[in-house]
C-alpha cells in the first residue's frame, strides 16, 4: 500500500533514525548465530548490523553514541539488531547491556557443546594449520584424563555457568534459547519462536527455505534484498577432523552435568545426551 511505499521511500532518502538495538544475539560462538541473523533479515521489520560490533566486550570505551552510529536506520516499528557471539562469555557484558536498557531482548543460539568445541577448533585450524591436535588441547594431562577447562573451546560450552552471570541482570523470560540443531532440522519452526519472542508477525515460514544437500544446511530461497537463493558462505559447514572417539566420550561425560543444569535453568531439553 501507499504507507509501505512511503516507508520504502523514506529509507531510500536516508530517513528513519539510528536506534540502539532492542534485541541482541549474544551467543554462542559456532552455535549458528550467522545463520539465525541471515534468516531473520528476511523479515521486513528487522534491520541488523552485518559485522559483529563487539561493543560490550572490546569497544565499550568508545561509548554508546559510537555504538548507535553503527546501527542501520529504522522506521517506526522496525527492530534494530546486532550479533556478537562472544558477549555470552564476557563477564562485563550483562551489566553493560542492562545499563543501556534493562528491556533488551537477548537471544542465545546453543549447540551440543562437544560438536561446538570441535567446530571451534576446526575454525582455528583453518587459520593456523600448525596448532596442536584437538586431543592434546582437551586435556591438562592425558594420563589422568583431566580436562583443560581453561581452553576457550571447552570453556564456552559450559553454558549453565555463563548463564548464571546473565541471570543476575536479566529475567530468564527476556532470554530466548535457540537450538542450533533445530535451526538445521526445522529452520521455520525455530524462526517462528524467534519472531514470536521479538513480537514480530510470523512472516518467515518454510516457504523461505530449501535444504541444500551438499552443504547439509537449509538455505534461503531469496536472501534479504535479492531475488537469488542464498546459502551461508564457504567457511560455514567445514568438514570436522576425525577426533578420537574416546576423547569425544570423555567430553560428553564432562559436559553432561552442566547440560542437565542448563536444561533445568532454561526449562528446555536440547537433547544433547
Dump pLDDT digits (tens) for 232-245.
876 777 889 999 99
Q: How far from 125 is each of 105, 116, 137, 174, CA to CA, in Å?
A: 34, 14, 12, 35
Per the annotation, does 33 bind a ligand?
Answer: yes
Query: Annotated catalytic, 215?
Result: no
Q: Look up cell 564456552; give the residue.
A: 156
Decide if pLDDT at 138 tops 90: yes
Q: What is d(CA 158, CA 37) in angstroms, rounded to the nearest whole number?
A: 23
Per the annotation, does 143 bind a ligand?
Answer: no
- Please identify which of the residues 18, 29, 30, 140 carries the catalytic annotation: 30
Which pLDDT value is given to residue 11? 67
Model confidence pLDDT, tens digit, residues 56-97: 999 999 999 999 999 999 999 999 999 999 999 999 999 999
Q: Where are the domains of the chain?
A: 17-113+155-239
Pick the CATH number of 17-113+155-239 from 3.40.50.300, 3.60.40.10, 3.30.70.100, 1.10.3720.10: 3.40.50.300
Per the annotation, does 111 bind a ligand?
Answer: yes
Q: Confidence band (pLDDT; 50, 70, 90) for 14?
A: confident
CA 178-217-36 angle, 5° bins: 35
Amino acid at each position: 500500500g501507499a504507507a509501505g511505499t512511503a516507508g520504502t521511500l523514506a529509507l531510500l532518502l536516508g530517513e528513519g533514525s539510528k536506534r540502539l538495538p532492542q534485541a541482541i544475539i549474544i551467543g554462542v560462538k559456532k552455535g549458528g548465530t550467522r545463520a539465525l541473523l541471515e534468516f531473520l533479515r528476511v523479515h521486513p521489520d528487522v534491520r541488523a548490523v552485518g559485522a559483529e560490533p563487539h561493543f560490550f566486550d572490546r569497544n565499550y570505551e568508545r561509548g554508546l553514541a559510537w555504538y548507535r552510529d553503527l546501527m542501520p536506520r529504522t522506521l517506526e516499528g522496525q527492530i534494530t539488531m546486532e550479533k556478537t557471539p562472544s558477549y555470552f562469555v564476557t563477564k562485563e557484558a550483562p551489566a553493560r547491556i542492562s545499563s543501556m536498557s534493562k528491556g533488551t531482548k537477548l537471544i542465545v543460539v546453543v549447540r551440543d557443546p562437544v560438536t561446538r568445541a570441535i567446530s571451534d577448533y576446526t575454525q582455528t585450524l583453518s587459520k593456523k594449520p600448525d596448532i596442536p591436535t584437538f586431543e592434546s588441547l582437551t586435556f591438562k594431562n592425558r594420563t589422568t584424563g583431566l580436562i583443560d577447562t581453561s581452553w576457550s573451546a571447552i570453556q564456552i560450552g559450559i553454558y549453565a555457568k555463563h548463564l548464571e552471570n546473565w541471570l543476575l541482570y536479566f529475567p530468564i523470560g527476556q532470554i530466548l534459547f535457540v537450538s542450533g540443531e533445530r535451526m538445521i532440522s526445522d529452520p521455520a519452526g525455530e524462526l517462528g519462536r524467534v519472531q514470536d519472542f521479538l513480537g514480530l508477525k510470523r512472516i518467515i515460514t518454510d516457504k523461505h527455505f530449501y535444504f541444500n544437500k551438499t552443504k547439509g544446511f537449509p538455505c534461503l530461497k531469496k536472501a534479504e534484498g535479492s531475488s537469488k537463493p542464498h546459502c551461508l558462505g564457504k567457511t560455514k559447514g567445514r568438514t570436522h577432523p576425525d577426533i578420537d572417539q574416546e576423547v569425544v566420550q570423555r567430553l560428553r561425560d564432562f559436559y553432561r552435568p552442566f547440560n542437565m543444569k542448563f536444561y533445568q535453568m532454561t526449562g528446555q531439553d536440547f537433547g544433547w545426551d
